[in-house]
Each structure stands twice: as structure tokens, then as C-alpha cells.
Structure 1
């Protein structure tokens, strides 16, 4: 099974730029690339920060841009989003009984659990008691042999970039307590927020995140470093999920660097490799 991970699209009002970039044009390019190369994917999951300021016009622009996608998609909310305008504009946003952007989706390989970590008063993530209770009930109701993948905007742990660690999930310990009973069945944790390609494991759970489709966060781990946005290439994730494991690719979909043919196997093409080569793109 293949699915696509998008994150941090940060759309603004039509015609506006953000940090010198056009977020809508970049999202549109991602949609075109996914349509052209991954028509066999079953779903696209967008892990929050759909807009930069939560404006209704930005959500409408997001909806219009994503309408060109030839695949079903699900959206979550991040710290730059606003629930009301998001839910009003996007049918792709799940909604639980309490009005949070949370829900589940069943795939043959696993149940996807989508979480709302938005605190509209802070850029840090929040899982309030109501949301934690929903998660606990959702996990408890799952069959004991059912695997799951978790999707959220904020990481529930520090990653070493200090300004981002200050606005990670605040209730990380409570979150850990809730997922402990199913820890061995969580196949992967996907999140956004960081605008960086980061992967590893947390409490034995594999995780990954990636650069957004708009601006990025510059990589600097010094405690006193300035908090900088960058124009590093945008990306999306291509996830291959099988019974025996999972592979997560990160694709820089706007990369235009030269591409040249490799030598043919079994041939000594040293002269070709050392000489001038002609790009094929």
C-alpha cells in the first residue's frame, strides 16, 4: 500500500507571498507531481498548518488547489490553523463528537488515527483532557490484533532544534500514558511542524517528518541560534506500507538539478564517467 504525506503548506490569501515564496504555487506543483507519479497511492494525509493565519480565504484557496488532486485526502490542523474556518471550508477535515479535528480511517495494513494538537492561544501543541479521552477510547475500542499509525502536527518529544522544542506538544507525558497500552502495535508516527526531514524512534515507535511545501526551518542546534526560515527545497513523503515493514521516501519535487545516465552494468565506462556528460532533464 502506498500513501503520500504532505505537511505545512502555509497558504495565505490569493496572490500573496510568504517569506518571499508563493505557497499556493508550491502546493499546486506538489499536487501535479503526485498526480503524475503516484496515481497508485490510496490517500494523501496533510499533517497541519494548512494556512499561515487561518483566514477563510486561505482555506478556500487550499480547497481549490487540492481539488486538482486525483486522490482522496485527509487534513489535520496545526498551530497556524483555526478550527472554525478549517471545518467550514474542508470536508477533508475529520471531526469528532466534541468538534475537534480528529478521526480514524481503516486501511488493510493498519488503522490511521488522526489527532488534533491545536491550541489557538499558543504555537505549542495541546492535547487537552477531552482529546486525550477521545484517543484513549478510540484505542481501547480497537481489536487487539489491529495495528495503527498515528498522525499529528506537533511532535510529542524534543528533536534538538531549540526554538521548535519550545513549541512541541505540551502534554507529552499524558500522551505517552494514553498510548502505552498499544505501544507495540503503533507501526509509525507521522507529524509535521518542524519543516525539517527528521526520522528515528521514540519509545520504540518509528517516526518521520519532512520539509513542508512552502518555507523551511533552518537547521541549527545551537541553544542561542537565531530562529530562521529558509528557502530549502519543498518535499512530500511517499510511504510504502507492507505487512513486513514500512519505507518512507522524501521527494524534493521541485528539484531541477542535472540528471545524467549511469554507466551500463558490466561495462567499463570510465571515459564516459570522467568526461563531459549531458543531462537528460
Structure 2
């Protein structure tokens, strides 16, 4: 299966949302135009970089949708260890734990540590339930971060920005960045050339997928406006436990599967929450992601693989 979305700007603008399930999908992006095909893995050229994304591990969750979230996180790390592309590091886009208990954080750290990769975290709302758990999260996963836990770093010619949108939740649980973080982002991007590839990652989506379910970030438009001058912007998030993709101008948005349990697609259930699937099918709904960036020609490939 090949979906070639190249064409006129109008055609690209009409691409609102694409939902993927099943085996890995490789996204190759050049000039802001994505194409997809089923593939085994994405590899960066020698001049590029590849990294891994996992999300929504929910260590401590043990309800019927997945009685053992630890086992499926272990399976996800096994997938990472088997990747042929030698990823440079890992990002985790939040909900590391389910109830932010110290033992849950400790167990998650030990299991994720098996990957032997440096890990860059963004918190989920399950990791920051109150001021005490927020402090505990920052002490373990946010050392060196600014303000409420946001930070940036550069790797292989790509500028990475980790944002926090789970502290001051709005109506229906919508995410929020806040004025301080947006001002920090504005300052962080100053001095970066327009040709610098930007990768933003956060827990909640930075586009409005289902605001009635809290699947979006109230003030994301203000943050995205700061990125309008950049030629290549990729936004990675978790929270919704399924694959969805959107291209809007110079920005490509990707949501990620969970390693713990699936959630229903918007409009298919009265509300979000753990989705019960036949036990033998659970790992088809869970997965990990590898992202590869090649400096020349500018190309970014995103591979999603389930745990089955």
C-alpha cells in the first residue's frame, strides 16, 4: 500500500487526519509532503540520526484492558533492543506511571533502563497529579529542565523541544502550555535558522483532535505560530493511545500508540478510556516508534511497529 500525498498546497491542506492501525507504517517527509508505505524499519543515513519514541506506559495500571502493563512495557523495550538502526536516544511522551507512586516511577525507570539509551521525558497528566507528585517527577525525570519541566536540546542538526501541557488543564481536560512556557519557547527558537529541523514533543496533542474529550491543547496555536518560519517541524505526542497524523503547512503531527492499552477512536464511544480488546489481540494495538532524519536530502521517516 502506498499513499502518495504529493500535489498542490490545496491538496495538502485538505489532509486533516489519518488513522493507522496494524503493522509499521513508514512516513517519509520531504518538503513537507509525506508518503507512506508498510515497511520493517526506518534507518538514518550516516549523516543523519534516528531515535525512538515510546508513550503511555501507565506502570501501575492493572485493569481488564491490560492486567499487566509491566509485561507490555518490557515487550516494547525488547522491540527497541531489536531495532537495527542503532537509535541515538529515546523520548517518552508521558504517562510513565498510572498513579505517580514512587514504586511505579522506580519500576518504570528500571524497565526503560534496559534499553541502554539516554531517555528524554515529557510528563503526562498521570505523572503529575498534585504539587507533591510534580516535584517527584521533576526530581527523577526533569533535572536541568526549565520552569515546569520544559527544555530543549540539539542532536545531529535537529533541534528538539520538550513541552509540558498537562499541569493547568482546561475545560474537558484540554492541555495548556501557559504564557511563561510560550515566552520561553519564543526565546529558545531565537537564533535558530529557518532551515533547522524542529521536533517538538509533549504528552497531549498540539492540535485539536477531540476537544470534547480533552484531546488537544488550548493555546497550542500560539506556540505553533512561533514555528511558522521553519521549513520542517515535526510534533510528536501520546495521550490518545492510537496513531493519527496531520499535515498543516510546515508542520507534521504524529500521535503514538501506548505500551499499555488502546483507547477508542473519537466518535466511536461515549468517552475516552481504556478499550477492552480480545486478550490475544492486545499487542496489535500497542507499539513503539522509530524516527530517522537524513540531513541531505532533508528527509524524516517515522516507523510505527506494534508489539504483536
Instruction: With the length of structure 2 as denominator, give the TM-score of the two structures.
Output: 0.72
State the Cα deviation string for residues 93-114 of structure 1 (Å, max 9, x = none).
354332x221122112311111
SS in 1 for 2:88: coil
In 2, the alpha carbon distance for the partners of 1:196 and 1:225 equals: 17
Q: Does 1:229 align with 2:278?
A: no
Number of aligned pairs?
A: 243
Unaligned runs of 5+ in 1: 256-281
Please give the root-mean-square deviation of Cα atoms over the aligned residues, in Å: 2.2
Partner of 1:58: 104
Partner of 2:302: 248
Partner of 1:104: 152
More strand by share: 2
Which protein has the larger Cα radius of gyration, Structure 1 or Structure 2? 1
Shift of 1:147: 2.3
In 2, the alpha carbon distance for the partners of 1:35 and 1:79 equals: 28
Answer whether contact 1:55 1:85 (CA < 8 A) is retained. Answer: no
Partner of 2:25: none
In 2, the alpha carbon distance for the partners of 1:21 and 1:38 equals: 30
In 2, the alpha carbon distance for the partners of 1:174 and 1:249 equals: 29
Answer whether contact 1:21 1:214 (CA < 8 A) is retained. Answer: no
In 2, the alpha carbon distance for the partners of 1:110 and 1:94 equals: 22
Answer whether contact 1:162 1:221 (CA < 8 A) is retained. Answer: no
1:126 aligned to 171, 176, 179, which one? Answer: 176
In 2, the alpha carbon distance for the partners of 1:148 and 1:29 equals: 30
State the Cα deviation string for residues 80-102 of structure 1 (Å, max 9, x = none).
11221212223xx354332x221
In 1, the alpha carbon distance for the partners of 2:80 and 2:222 equals: 36
Answer whether contact 1:79 1:124 (CA < 8 A) is retained. Answer: no
Shift of 1:249: 1.0
Bigger relative CO (Cα 8 Å, ≥ 6 apart):
2
Unaligned runs of 5+ in 2: 1-48, 129-133
Shift of 1:39: 6.2
Answer whether contact 2:169 2:175 (CA < 8 A) is retained. Answer: no
Paired residues for 1:5-154 under 5 Å: 5-12=53-60, 17-18=62-63, 19-38=65-84, 40-82=86-128, 83-90=134-141, 93=142, 95-98=144-147, 100-119=148-167, 123-154=173-204
Answer whether contact 1:39 1:70 (CA < 8 A) is retained. Answer: no
Instruction: With the length of structure 1 as denominator, give the TM-score of the two structures.
Output: 0.78
Q: Which runs of 4+ in 1 moved over 6 A?
A: none
Q: Does 1:190 align with 2:236?
A: yes
In 2, the alpha carbon distance for the partners of 1:79 and 1:238 equals: 24
